[in-house]
Amino acid sequence: MAKYRISGVWKVNKEITQYAFHEVSGDGRTLSYAKRISKIEAVKIVENIFNNVYTIIWDYDNSCWIDGSTVHVVGTVHKFLRSNHDFTQVDNLDHLIDYSNVYY
């Protein structure tokens, strides 16, 4: 089973087109550098029942990443990612860091 964390998104015309995926190491504490993943590829990764995918949020007080909530796929024709955190539904992971203006 592969473990992934999503730290941010890239947008074109306010629509998310790519996600920043980090692979979690075997010890569960080390994250890889962000890998820019297309929306289609991200959906495939999350739909794989053998993968574990969560959001990660930067904790400014402690200067570290903390796990957010589980990511799942919604929709049948137009699929997208969604997370539920503290009983709040968040579409498209739009609450994550917007890397669109970062040269990457």
Q: Which of 44, 35, 49, 54 is nearest to 79 (CA)?
A: 44
Q: What's the confidence (pLDDT) of residue 89?
A: 52
The full set of domain ranges for the chain reads: 2-96
pLDDT tens-place string over residues 16-60: 999 999 999 887 778 999 999 999 999 999 999 999 999 998 889
pTM for the whole thing? 0.87
Write down the residue that tokens 């919604």 correspond to: 74
Percentage of residues of the chain with pLDDT beyond 70? 90
Q: What are phi and psi of 53, to 5 degrees?
A: -125, 125
Q: What's the confidence (pLDDT) of residue 54?
A: 94
Q: What's the confidence (pLDDT) of residue 29?
A: 77
